[in-house]
Amino acid sequence: MANITIKMKDGTVRKFLHEGRAGGSWTKSVRYEAAFAVVTDEYGKETAIPVADIEEVVSESHRGRW
């Protein structure tokens, strides 16, 4: 995954766009833990968002389509 868009129940949209990092395949990722969606960036920074506030999570691969 590289581009992650989180649509909140209040109508706001949070975008975590691919920024890249030197040295290979570093990219953004999302995982789900208990009551949170946790987004991790290319440098290891984590942002936890309560799932109770989320309407939808969309993740788009940064890799080219074959």
Q: Please state the rounded mean pLDDT for residues 29-56.
A: 94
Spatial CA neighbour of 42 closest among 29, 57, 31, 30: 29
How many domains does one find in the chain?
1
Q: Which domain holds residue 45?
A: 3-60
In a domain, 9, yes or no: yes
30-39 confidence digits (pLDDT tens): 999 999 999 9
Which tokens in the block code for residue 13?
């949209």
In a domain, 39, yes or no: yes
Q: Are 38 and 30 in contact (CB under 8 A)?
A: yes
Segment of 4-13, 26-35, 41-50 carrying the highest mean pLDDT: 4-13
In a domain, 65, yes or no: no
Tell me the CATH number at 45: 2.30.30
Predicted TM-score (pTM) above 0.85: no
Q: Please state the rounded mean pLDDT for residues 38-48.
A: 92
In a domain, 66, yes or no: no
Helix, strand, coil: what percent of the chain each, to 5?
5, 50, 45
In a domain, 33, yes or no: yes
In a domain, 46, yes or no: yes
